[in-house]
Structure 1
């Protein structure tokens, strides 16, 4: 482990499509796991690299994304809200996918990979429940047993998604340790994987965790950005939006979105929850098998994160985002719960779209930035709406 720490701390050249060395994005990333999990991570890395280069694997995944998920998702103009804000706001509609969020893109890829590896069972962590629902869905589709670890606090505020997972045949295990949220579900999922690596595949939900997960999840999610780039080229006079915006927790929908635009002049904006802003308020540390920006005290103890959105209630961020922030290629900002609630209502009442509270973080920042001139009038903004708001109705009813 000490040797691995020394190796991973050394910055190296970064290919925007693939991390260098042991999964490094600059000084971030790597593989910080117990020795018992190193072979499992290496097995996943080899299998993914082979599968991603296999036209038959990619063809099967693309077929399912089309006929099962409903891709490509539309790029929706927001006529009324755009007029109010003085900008041209376009929404990439991941909320319209089967299961209601971007999570299904990654999960189907990983589930197909697990089957290719001969695994019979999927385990997953979840916060807001959308990744858990997607994993349970893929498990049902492919005939694989599924177990989902979910913080007890999140099972209480996301009861609809817990019921959906059970309807799909998944076992849902509440995690009662720590803050009883996403952080603790991730920890428990890794422990669970240690005991069952022979027949079980860990389907990690965001662009974080030990290598190869940050890279692999981004590759499965880049369908968002790749589609959006083609759609923008067809719809816009310039072909490229001025701003590309997405919410960031662990960061998978943003990583996938940014991948399509990282080599364009578009400004990339990641929006964190004010109470879980690992890039804006964190320091470099190791969490859940990877090195990145995390919320921690002066002794290195991980701090609790807070967000009205369960999916952003995480004290770290994917290593590629930390690298993009350090390099200046992407900018990361924060919004608070009050702004998120207001943005949720405003989008609903101007455009008839009930988005997830996670997605509303990105909407909130665009509203603020257009209002204070950060986004100049007349700019084009492409925003990934990562999920729909059905799961958040109980929270909205309580707070509205």
Structure 2
């Protein structure tokens, strides 16, 4: 009996990458065919792994990753189908108008980091270059540092007002692993609430805290684009998951991680939590004082100070009233889910970091609800 000939790993990765690049080039029929070929090659790889005696190829985690990749390619085909030459072009399978949203990839992120893009992330990249080594093959133009927009000009006023807010619908699942951990997989779907664009994964044991997570673009899974670390809670009780923690977000492409610091460490709620990005100051504040899990609201501020009379570290600030990120709760029957909105014009890199922050915070609180 002949053995199944598998596609070389480098060829498969090129095929998978090309399928997503074709989406951005609006080559929908080409992309559909590439997703089909990638899914079939992965399914063959799955069959081969089941028969393999190699501990790496036959591992449960390896098969889980392959299964997830197949699901991603099949889902992208569903998203593409109305936009094929043979499709309706304007309606989905339920007769509703649809707009195709390409799955984000590193090409969009690289464009945001280019020093000629004018994005806030390109400014962050320039600033972190001053004190850090970067493996990229070119050196930013540091003369531009003298031409950066003044922080006195509100960030929201620099965004394109013609761009609509970017919306993601958040959904969580749970899987058991052989090690006895509970693996949380949290996904962010595009505006139609049908197709995942990002996932966040972390593992949790009943006797441990969530201290790390990985944030992925589905187009590049299982390579993370943001790696996340969280500070620990010293006193473990039934409120531990709701207490404020430092969040460190390492975007793979920026030399320095973004660090969010709460005004009051290990206190309920998680926010206010402050950080700097692109030379500007931002603060997360509670999205709903009656719902701890609600996505937080992001504002820009220029100055903060200790709240007079506070003995617990509370602070005040001059945050602008304009929301940059905000959330809402959705209920369908007995199932609750959350939606998060980003002001139109926020660049992909900054948006991905902010989304990762909100998703990992929610996952930490979900562990207390099981």
Larger radius of gyration: 2
Work out whether the TM-score is over 0.5: no
Q: Which structure's residues are more often helix, by fraction?
A: 1
Structure with higher RCO (Cα < 8 A, 6+ apart): 1
Task: Give the structure-1-normalised TM-score.
Answer: 0.29
Q: Which structure's residues are more often strand, by fraction?
A: 2
